[in-house]
Chains A and B, each alone.
Chain A
Amino acid sequence: MWQGGPGEHPDEGTIHAWLDDALDADSAGRVATHVSSCAGCAARVAEARGLIAGASRIVAALDDAPSAARPPWAQAASGSGPGGSEPAAQGRAGPPPGGSLWRWLRVTPGRAAIAATILVAIGVTLTHERVAQETAARDARPMAAVHDEAELRQRAGQSAVGGSPAAAPSAPGVRAPGGAANQAVADSVAVRSSAVAQSGPTIERAPGPAIPQPPSAEAGAPAIAAAPEVRERVAIGRAAVQAQRETTAARADKVRTEVTAPEADARAAEKEIVAADAAARGAAAPAQARASAKAVPSEPQPTGVSAGIAAPQRRPAVAEECYRMQGGQAGVRWGGLLLPVLVAVDAGSATGPRAATVRATATAGPTRRATWTRTETDSVRLTLDEAGVPPILLGAESGGRAGTIESGERVRVGRVECEGGGSLR
């Protein structure tokens, strides 16, 4: 461990350990103090930063590995895969001459049983989670479900009483629940279950625009007149759905305006830092510049965010995630918090804003509310829900996320387990 005596300079390994936040607090403080007063070591730190960034990008370039989506038997059937130029892939282009295909696949009954056990356990876990999420969503939106169910019953009743000419036996109608034009209605679980209950050989009608269109009061008059309580529930449900749509649209507009300009600024700041690192590296500049251009999209992409907001039900849900965020050097603060900090991101959609909690990792101190917004390009914008605190822009996940505070300091975020209230490594 570097002691920082008079005239001593930290070696390269110590500098890398310092930049990786792997030194204890005392050593890190000594290195920081020394670097701030030693121009030579400051230059070595800049070079080390360039090496770390450059090496990370080279390693990330390996992730486009060949035959990513092709199972071994597909390769065996069609010869070498798209990555045939890779030596490892060529060596595995098919079973060895005289060898057993079973051995080549390397799937033994024991492994198959273990794989099945894992899959069953994961399946049970995911099913439980999915059921819990759907139950919560249904509880949170009773009016929408009532609306959808009542609407479907209304339509089914309309068809059953002969409202559609396709009900005639001679008409080659399409069964209502399976029609492609019925997709918008079929999105609801309640609608699906109702559709199964309502469907029968007599409920047939011709495909056409009549299914996705909102039913008018006139069109639905016969069925609604027969059940006034249903009409009341439908009206309440429609009002709830309309209110929700307006809220969603307003949120999308707000996020668009909030994300687009600051994110572009943060991306520009990230580019400048990468370029500075590349310049410090000297000969590495061309490679790093190309790598950074690849890693950081040249144009902000608000459309991904807005598209995700506009269709929230299409986005996959993810469970709670926890991250440890550390500074690129000692003493980095964010909103008054001394890094490293723990960021616990609530469960929610994979893309778009999610509520988060930030607290110092060293103590169980007070928490701060934040918003974690992941775009469809996998970059993340982390903001404290407080005025005057600069946001943090994080790059795509690649063994952690690297990024910068808008004010210039570099940070790195790594995934940690959420269990135990943030038992950090």
Chain B
Amino acid sequence: MVTPERLAALFKTYHAPLVRFLTRRLGDRDQAEELAQETFVRALRQETIASERSWLFAVASNLVRDEARRATRERKRHDVLRAQAESEPAAEPEPTSVERAEERALARRALEMLAERDRDALLLREEGLGYEEIAESLGLSVGSVGTTLSRARRRLMEAYESLQQERSAERA
């Protein structure tokens, strides 16, 4: 059983990276905090955790998938709302934040265009996980992590540039 003292140490070390990973994955800080908390709850129920960082990020990734399945039925309504928001750029509160908000929205849309495994591998790498840890978290072979990451990075860049061009064309 993971002791409260050990859990506190895990929390201190990994809470911030987990929240950052989940925020990048989900785009919602509150939801990320919630799933990070759930991750630590599950850690407390474990008898032992061999590789703590890999285990925590793997559980967090699984929770994201569960959340995505739960949210699928609302996606259509989200698309409608997103279209409305994009058609009303004047509603942005602060002119100085417009560009950053647009970049963030482009980055999120580009990330969502990746395959789930590519996306997870990329975000885990950005959190500093090594190839072995990424392989362990996602159930991949270590040898395929490089290929997965290279594909994820290339497709992310291509998607981002494509979205940028679309935006430029719309404004032209």
Q: Is there a chain B Cβ closer than 8 Å to A86's Cβ? A: yes
Q: Is there a chain B Cβ closer than 8 Å to A171's Cβ? A: no
Is A56 a contact partner of B71 (Cβ separation < 8 A)? no
A327 CB to nearest B CB, Å: 15
A396 CB to nearest B CB, Å: 13
- Which residues in B have their C-beta under 8 angstroms from that of A63? 20, 23-24
- Which residues in B have their C-beta under 8 angstroms from that of A48? 150, 153
Q: Is there a chain A Cβ closer than 8 Å to B4's Cβ? A: yes
Q: Is there a chain A Cβ closer than 8 Å to B29's Cβ? A: yes
- Docked Cα-Cα span, A83 to B34, in Å, equals 17
Q: Is there a chain B Cβ closer than 8 Å to A67's Cβ? A: yes
Q: Is there a chain A Cβ closer than 8 Å to B60's Cβ? A: no
Is B31 a contact partner of A88 (Cβ separation < 8 A)? yes
A92 CB to nearest B CB, Å: 6
- Which residues in B have their C-beta under 8 angstroms from that of A84? 85
- Which residues in A have their C-beta under 8 angstroms from that of B96? none
- Docked Cα-Cα span, A284 to B30, in Å, equals 33
- Which residues in B have their C-beta under 8 angstroms from that of A398? 126
Q: Give the contacting residue for B29; candidates A66, A121, A414; CB below 8 A.
A: A66
Task: For B11, give the chain A residue with the smallest CB separation.
Answer: A118
From known contacts A87-B78, A106-B34, infer whether A417 and B13 are also in contact, taking CB-CB under 8 Å.
yes
- Which residues in A have their C-beta under 8 angstroms from that of B103? 61, 290
From known contacts A122-B8, A125-B12, infer whether A13 and B146 are also in contact, taking CB-CB under 8 Å.
yes
Is B128 a contact partner of A51 (Cβ separation < 8 A)? no
From known contacts A22-B131, A85-B105, A414-B128, infer whether A66 and B28 are also in contact, taking CB-CB under 8 Å.
yes
Instruction: Give how many B residues have a beta carbon under 8 Å from the other chain's beta carbons.
Output: 70
Is A70 a contact partner of B150 (Cβ separation < 8 A)? no
Instruction: Digitize B114-155: 1 where CB-to-A-CB distance is under 8 Å, 0 elsewhere.
Output: 000000001101111011010000000001111111101110
Q: Is there a chain A Cβ closer than 8 Å to B93's Cβ? A: yes
- Which residues in B have their C-beta under 8 angstroms from that of A71? 30
Is A118 a contact partner of B40 (Cβ separation < 8 A)? yes
Q: Is there a chain A Cβ closer than 8 Å to B59's Cβ? A: no
Q: Is there a chain A Cβ closer than 8 Å to B49's Cβ? A: no
Q: Is there a chain A Cβ closer than 8 Å to B32's Cβ? A: yes
From known contacts A13-B150, A71-B30, infer whether A62 and B23 are also in contact, taking CB-CB under 8 Å.
yes
- Which residues in A have their C-beta under 8 angstroms from that of B150? 12-13, 15-16, 48, 51
Is B82 a contact partner of A87 (Cβ separation < 8 A)? yes
Stretch in contact with the other chain, from A109-117, A158-166, A201-209, A310-318: A109-117
Task: For A75, give the chain B residue with the smallest CB separation.
Answer: B30
- Which residues in A have their C-beta under 8 angstroms from that of B11? 118, 122
Is B144 a contact partner of A90 (Cβ separation < 8 A)? no
Is B24 a contact partner of A62 (Cβ separation < 8 A)? yes
- Contacts of A49-108 to chain B: CB distance below 8 A: 51-52, 54-56, 58-68, 70-72, 75, 82-92, 106
A109 CB to nearest B CB, Å: 12
- Which residues in A have their C-beta under 8 angstroms from that of B34? 106
Q: Is there a chain B Cβ closer than 8 Å to A364's Cβ? A: no
- Which residues in B have their C-beta under 8 angstroms from that of A64? 100-101, 104
Is A121 a contact partner of B37 (Cβ separation < 8 A)? no
From known contacts A13-B144, A87-B82, A414-B128, infer whether A287 and B161 are also in contact, taking CB-CB under 8 Å.
yes
A326 CB to nearest B CB, Å: 11
- Docked Cα-Cα span, A48 to B85, in Å, equals 35
Is A65 a contact partner of B149 (Cβ separation < 8 A)? no
Q: Give the contacting residue for A91; candidates B37, B74, B85, B148; CB below 8 A.
A: B74
- Contacts of A370-399 to chain B: CB distance below 8 A: 398-399
Q: Give the contacting residue for A22; candidates B79, B104, B130; CB below 8 A.
A: B130
30 contacts between A and B (CB under 8 A): A1-B143, A11-B147, A15-B146, A16-B153, A22-B131, A51-B153, A55-B152, A58-B107, A59-B111, A59-B156, A62-B107, A67-B28, A85-B85, A87-B78, A87-B79, A88-B26, A88-B71, A90-B78, A92-B31, A111-B37, A111-B38, A114-B44, A117-B7, A117-B8, A121-B5, A122-B8, A283-B161, A287-B164, A399-B127, A417-B13
Which 5 A-B pairs give the minimum distances between C-beta atoms?
A: A13-B147, A121-B8, A17-B146, A13-B146, A85-B85
